[in-house]
Structure 1
Amino acid sequence: MSGLPVRVLRLGLRPYSEALRVQERAWGRRGRRGAAAPDPLPLPGESVVLSEPSGPVYAGGLRGAPEAEAAERLRARGAGLAAARRGGRITFTGPGSCWPSPVLDLRRRGLPLRGYVAALEGLVLRLCRRLGLAAARALPPPFTGVWMGDSKICAIGVHCGNHITSHGLALNCCTDLTWFDHIVPCGLEGKGVTSLSRELGRHVTVDHVLEPFLDSFQEVFECTLVFSEDPGD
């Protein structure tokens, strides 16, 4: 499958809700019937949406959102709440988090869902090693994501409909980790969270990781990246 084109939409710093809408439109072009709908632009049918949430957001997955009282406490701290159509439980994303959302056709690529999740983990492991974090590792289910010791550095939660993926991963680059103190991240008791900045001992921004992320993405998914203008609303 070498060379399959994947459109890259680099949104930069955006509200979570805006980036989610772009992702849902990209999924809708392929996911409603498993094939691309007519599009006025000659763009590849697969995409990866890259963004950094401009504000703090707690996002609950399909396996649970906070109850009303807990939700009110989180809002009182100045965070937004969102219901995400992905696997997993509540987690946090915000400024300093790299939030890539691949929209890929798993049937076209011959990938089962679990194999796709493993591919995302492998992608982040490649990225971490490029940055000098050789100790990053993946753990067996239910401990999805990428870990440094007992602390998660990258959460993974995906949706798949008609073999088309959406959502993806949230990589802590220079995220304010104190936001995680108010939840049980991903529902995993006794586990911590960390960031690239904490592990590397220097300030690592989302912009710093985009190029090595895209290099790793191309290697893992054997694709050709096609850069596209921001689609807007």
Structure 2
Amino acid sequence: MARGPVRVLRLGLRPYAEALRVQERCVAAVRAARSGSGSGSGSDPVPGESVVLSEPAEPVYAWGLRGAPEAEAAARLRALGAGLAAARRGGQITFHGPGQLLAFPVLDLRRRRLPLRGYVAALEELVLRLCRRFGLAAARALPPPFTGVWMGDSKLCAIGVHCGNHITSHGLALNCCTDLTWFDHIVPCGLEGKGVTSLSRELGRHVTVDHVLEPFLDSFQEVFDCTLVCSEDPGD
């Protein structure tokens, strides 16, 4: 993987839709950097790459390209007080809400010479390293279709990515102290018979998104072999 600086945008508690908008601006920045950087070698730093970190401010059910709920199911979910959102990523319906870390890496896989399958594996490795930092040695990654990070038969971290012209978006959702009862109303990621868990549940103590940010960034830096630079929201 190529070395290079990656901007870290810590949005904090924000609506899911707002995090998506910031992500799209970051994607545009990578495209612009690529078009202006010529055809330099793959080992050059990759200007414009980012990772957008946020905690959803309100509950929302989001689905990928082929996972839209039927009208009746959508009305039932909306009646629970949750928002509904379509996302340009792989994967089916899942839940995002307070107590969950959303990480949207916007990386140029072509410049990093990293295939998409290898990128997904890198995201899993990132979360596995984070889990080991918290003493959860039993966390594991499973073969497709069980993408993500698991504790036994319960998913701790969901992964759903989009890659257009070798530029990544979307990414992962890690349950820190999420209210897991929201998952009871759906089949998370379309996987029947599987559960959902959180760092708080597995560790037996309250683990917030803020508790996770620094070890997450340490793990990100290791896995993607990069220097992280804190940045302000790129603005509208």
User: What TM-score does the superposition give when structure 2 sets the normalisation length?
Assistant: 0.93
* 2:28 alignment counterpart: 28
* 2:8 alignment counterpart: 8
Q: Does 1:227 align with 2:230?
A: yes
Q: Does 1:185 align with 2:184?
A: no
Structure 2 Cα separation of the partners of residues 3 and 108 of structure 1: 10
Cα deviations across residues 140-172 of structure 1 (Å, max 9, x unaligned)?
011000000000000000000010000000000
Q: How does 1:62-101 map to 2 (within 5 A)?
A: 62-101=65-104
Q: Contact 2:25–2:234 at 8 Å: present in 1 too? A: no
Q: CA deviation at 1:44?
A: 3.6
Q: Contact 2:22–2:233 at 8 Å: present in 1 too? A: no
Structure 2 CA distance for partners of 1:37 and 1:13, relative to 1, 3 Å? farther
Q: CA deviation at 1:129?
A: 0.3
Identity of matched residues, %: 85
Cα deviations across residues 10-36 of structure 1 (Å, max 9, x unaligned)?
0000001111100011012224x7825
User: What TM-score does the superposition give when structure 1 sets the normalisation length?
Assistant: 0.94
Structure 1 Cα separation of the partners of residues 235 and 165 of structure 2: 26
* 2:18 alignment counterpart: 18
Q: Does 1:196 align with 2:199?
A: yes
DSSP-derived class of the 1:35 partner: helix
Q: How does 1:168-183 map to 2 (within 5 A)?
A: 168-183=171-186
Q: Contact 1:152–1:193 at 8 Å: present in 2 too? A: yes
User: Where has structure 1 moved over 6 Å in runs of 4 or more?
Assistant: none
The one-letter code matched in structure 1 to 2:52 is: V
Q: Which runs of 5+ in 2 are unaligned?
A: 38-45
Q: Which runs of 5+ in 1 are unaligned?
A: none
DSSP-derived class of the 1:107 partner: helix
Structure 2 Cα separation of the partners of residues 36 and 99 of structure 1: 28
Q: Contact 2:2–2:112 at 8 Å: present in 1 too? A: no
Cα deviations across residues 121-146 of structure 1 (Å, max 9, x unaligned)?
00000000001100000000110000
Q: Does 1:114 align with 2:117?
A: yes
Structure 2 CA distance for partners of 1:62 and 1:159, relative to 1, 3 Å? same
Q: CA deviation at 1:37?
A: 6.4
